[in-house]
Amino acid sequence: MNFTLHIWRQKNINIAGDFVTYKIDDIDEDTSFLEMLDQLNEQLIANDEDCIVFDYDCREGICGACSLVINGYPHGDKKATTTCQLYMRDYKHQTELWVEPFRANSFPVIKDLTVDRSSFDSIIQSGGYISVHTGAAPDANAVLVDKPSADEAFNSATCIGCGACVAVCPNASATLYVAAKITHLSLLPQGKIEEKARAQKMLNQMQSEGFGSCSNHRHCERVCPKGISVSNISKMNQVLAWS
């Protein structure tokens, strides 16, 4: 397979970036999208050029490091998939690809396709946890959790913190990310006690990091690689409303 790639190159946040066009040929259809970029980078090294920088790590869809907007969609247009789990066979009919970084003010570009998502860490630091001391927890079966709640908490907890929800949102809101954590912890008896303070602190932090608010576009749910539902946002609003 042969592709024409228009890839966003940007030296750093202070210098404007632009698309640069590359050609890559003889790509096997079982090659992953990131392996295709690896091969392009090998070509660049051979030509004495600086490589295209992009984030990746586990390459199995769980670490949340990879990003990229491909032909307008964060993580490509395949549903419930991270970029690292895309294969070139998925692009049989789209041989011209536009590859950009996740775009949001709260995710400043570091270089090329890499953005700074440390604002997500700051949101967790502001309260996205249960305040338990280490070393003296009660027996694990002392607190029972009904299975439906445990399963639902798990679904919310599968968020990988990639930021696709922000990248696709017209408001660059991180509400789905915040709501998923609030819902995960609120559904469990251990997390119930701090729920309201936690929700307020995390939302305040989200705002001070410069993310926008939710206005119900629901694009976030559509691009979430883990299929996290916007019902998490309703649940968060319930937590905030009950005082």
Partner 1 sequence: MSSIYAKDPTGPLENRWEKHLFNLSLIAPQNRKKHKVIVIGTGLAGASLCATLGEAGYQVSSFCFQDSPRRAHSIAAQGGINSTKNYQNDGDSVWRLFYDTIKGGDFRARESNVYRLAQLSSNIIDQAVAQGVPFAREYSGYLANRSFGGTQVSRTFYARGQTGQQLLLGAYQAHSRQLENDNVTHQSRSEMLELIMVDDQARGVVVRDLVSGEVSAHTADCVVLCTGGYSNVFYLSTNAKGCNTSATWRAYKQGAYFANPSFTQIHPTCIPPTGENQSKLTLMSESLRNDGRIWAPKNSADCTKNPADIKEEDRDYFLERMYPAFANLAPRDVASRAAKVICDKGLGVGSKIQGKRLGVYLDFSAIIEKLGLDAVAEKYGNLFDMYSSITGENPYQTPMKIYPAPHYTMGGLWVDYNLMTTVEGLFAGGEANFSDHGANRLGASALMQGLADGYFILPKTVANYLAKNTLTEVDNDHPQVVQSLKAVKDRIQKFMKAPQPKHSPEYFHQKLGGILWEACGMSREADRLKQAIVDIAELETQFWQNIKVTGVDNDLNQTLERAGRVVDFIELGKLMCQDALMREESCGAHARVEYLTEGGEAKRDDNEFSFVGAWEFMSEQPKLHKEQLNYEFIEPTVRNYK
- Residues in 156-195 that interact with partner 1 by CB under 8 A: 157-158, 160-161, 184-185, 188, 190-191
Q: Quote the CA–CA distance of 70 and 101 in Å, as a whole number.
A: 9
Q: Does the footprint of partner 1 cover residue 53 (CB under 8 A)?
A: yes
User: In the stretch 223-242, what mask flags binding to partner 1 with x, by CB under 8 A?
Assistant: --------------------
User: CA torsion sign, 154 to 214 to 175 to 171?
Assistant: positive
| Residues linked to residue 97 through DSSP beta bridges, in sequence order | 5
Question: What crossing angle do the helices spanning 175-186 and 195-208 adopt, rounded to 10°?
Answer: 170
Whole-number minimum distance, CB 172 to partner 1, in Å? 18
Considering only 4, 19, 20, 49, the residue that binds partner 1 (CB under 8 A) is 49
CB 59 within 8 A of CB 84: yes
Q: Does the footprint of partner 1 cover residue 87 (CB under 8 A)?
A: yes
In single-letter form, the type of residue at position 99 comes to V
Q: Could you say which residues in the range 64-83 bind partner 1, by CB under 8 A?
A: 64-65, 81
Choose one: 1-9, 95-103, 132-140, 212-220; the region binding partner 1 (CB under 8 A): 132-140
The two structure tokens encoding residue 116:
């700074």
- What's the distance, Cα to Cα, between the start and end of the chain in Å? 58
Considering only 72, 105, 132, 215, the residue that binds partner 1 (CB under 8 A) is 132
The two structure tokens encoding residue 46:
């051979």
Whole-number minimum distance, CB 2 to partner 1, in Å? 15
Whole-number minimum distance, CB 215 to partner 1, in Å? 27
Nearer to partner 1, 161 or 210 (CB): 161
Q: Quote the CA–CA distance of 226 and 79 in Å, as a whole number.
A: 9
What is the size of the binding site for partner 1 (CB under 8 A)? 75
Q: Does the footprint of partner 1 cover residue 204 (CB under 8 A)?
A: no
Residue listed under structure tokens 């939710």: 214
Nearer to partner 1, 134 or 216 (CB): 134
Nearer to partner 1, 141 or 216 (CB): 141
Q: Quote the CA–CA distance of 53 and 11 in Å, as a whole number.
A: 10
Q: Could you say which residues in the range 4-23 bind partner 1, by CB under 8 A?
A: none
Q: Quote the CA–CA distance of 146 and 42 in Å, as a whole number.
A: 52
